[in-house]
Amino acid sequence: MEHMKSDNVKKGMQQAPHRSLFNALGFTEEEMKKPMVGIVSSYNEIVPGHMNLDKIVNAVKLGVAEAGGVPVVFPAIAVCDGIAMGHIGMKYSLVTRDLIADSTECMALAHQFDALVMVPNCDKNVPGLLMAAARINVPTVFVSGGPMLAGHVKGQKRSLSSMFEAVGSHAAGTMTEEDVREFEQKACPTCGSCSGMYTANSMNCLTEALGMGLGGNGTIPAVYSERIKLAKHAGMAVMDMYNKNICPRDIMTKEAILNALTVDMALGCSTNSMLHLPAIAHEVGFDFDISFANTISEKTPNLCHLAPAGPTYMEDLNEAGGVYAVMKELADIGLLNTECITVTGKTVAENIKNSVNRDTEVIRTVDNPYSKTGGLAVLKGNLAPDGSVVKRSAVVEEMMVHEGPARVFDCEEDAIEAIKGGKIVSGDVVVIRYEGPKGGPGMREMLNPTSAIAGMGLGSSVALITDGRFSGASRGASIGHVSPEAAVGGPIALVREGDIIKIDIPNMKLNIDISEEEMAARKAEWKPREPKVTTGYLRRYAAQVTSGDKGAVMKLPEN
């Protein structure tokens, strides 16, 4: 076998000390001659999407060994956004993406692995490992832990978003404590990433669309034995990639990233994909402008309305044919670059050619879409000169164009208190600022306020605008990633209580109804705030992070 990367730590007289350490690990002479494959395990016992990853990892190890490699496991961290939601913990969610990328890069290059299998599942864990894969650039396959099955409450399928909304309904007096408790016991019935098209499942589906995961990676439920088979095949696939020398940068090209954005539009993915796709693109040297979303959205039909936008769940998408069936619909009308190479060693066209749409209600056909335009929109205007993001597929028709008075809050907690205290009324535009990547720091998700608005029955009459971000479980006129953010003096910092805000989603506009002169006068008076966090990792993060429209990537310190 030609020179392996791992020969740098295994072969030659200089490496005798290294071999003694492999001896300490129990490596055999036979194993020392084979490619060393790092299995990046995100297993932990605090994230429901990760508690089953030990089984996935074991299956990957079998696949790698069967195909002639030596599997070696090392860990990656992950945060459960649901458990971190609505308190200081949420400041620590997005920031883990870059920690995951950095730590995996360190482990893979320090030990000179020949190939990698990434085993992620939840929100930041998937993009963090995709970023690492692009940096390390050795043959790499992804296999996630799979989605949770939907819960069943009072004869209806339910999920985590209905759980958060139940709390709002209780505050509004329309749901009893006993009802909330029933939801609590039944909404999240199995291990896996939460069962709607939230961020974790969005990113796992987009991993398939990018070509970095095998078919089924995004949709086969966590508790299905088919997921174990998929993991074994991922182990075999990485060895095939190793033998053919196919690497992540061969797969994650500009064309593949635009394919992923197109599939995102059809699936109706989380707004967080508009933070993660630019960050992944950044790692491969592709300057991803979030306005691409509007260009692609104009021609891409929205084919799926999974929770929270509609009544279907990941298990339904899986039964309907999964991501490949959605891609086939799009490819048939020329919306995908089907020549892109993938982890199967085949092109997108070869992968999807036999895919069948088995349920045209779960995956609408291109001539009968939920809407002719995609699931996401980027809005610009004098309130968001560099852009903002809305999941328009989860916005009710009457909120597509809306204007109302600003109700201004400088942190999420103050907004929740006002919403639950009945102080927000029909027509209001709730503005939550100083929650961006720098200002938060860490750009918290706003699932609690959006769920409270929905639960209070205000989902079709109140909008929410923030320089923070939203959970994939948020629905309604929830506009996030407003850039520039308040902490750097963006226009969102200059909004005053009662200002009229104009939202026009069809025309991609977000404006505050004041003159340029008034805006300039307010800007002249504005003073930066003291940082909310002055120690530890968040302080370093706030100093280095870029704005939401740039993917909140870390920039190098300026000399």
Catalogue the active-site residues.
Answer: 471
d(CA 115, CA 5): 9
Number of Cα atoms under 13 Å in the Cβ half of residue 499: 22
Q: What does each C-alpha distance from 387 to 466, 477, 515 come to in angstroms?
A: 12, 16, 19
Contacts of 491 (CB under 8 A, 6+ apart): 382, 383, 384, 385, 484, 512, 519
Helix and strand numbers (H, E) in the chain are: 22, 14
Given a contact cutoff of 8 angstroms between Cβ atoms, the answer to whether 76 and 125 are in contact is yes
The dihedrals phi and psi of 250, each to the nearest 5 degrees, come to -75, -30
- Residue 165 identity (one-letter amino acid): E
Contacts of 6 (CB under 8 A, 6+ apart): 35, 36, 112, 113, 114
d(CA 502, CA 264): 27
Here the tokens at position 357 are 């749409």
Three-state SS at 490: coil
Residue-wise DSSP of 319-368? HHTHHHHHHHHHHHTT-S-TT-B-TTSSBHHHHHTT-----TTTS--TTS
Given a contact cutoff of 8 angstroms between Cβ atoms, the answer to whether 69 and 34 are in contact is yes
Given a contact cutoff of 8 angstroms between Cβ atoms, the answer to whether 68 and 36 are in contact is no
d(CA 434, CA 542): 12
Contacts of 11 (CB under 8 A, 6+ apart): none
Given a contact cutoff of 8 angstroms between Cβ atoms, the answer to whether 450 and 478 are in contact is yes
Q: What does each C-alpha distance from 485 to 57, 103, 160, 337, 366 come to in angstroms?
A: 40, 28, 29, 35, 37
Bridge pairing between strands 401-409 and 429-432 = parallel
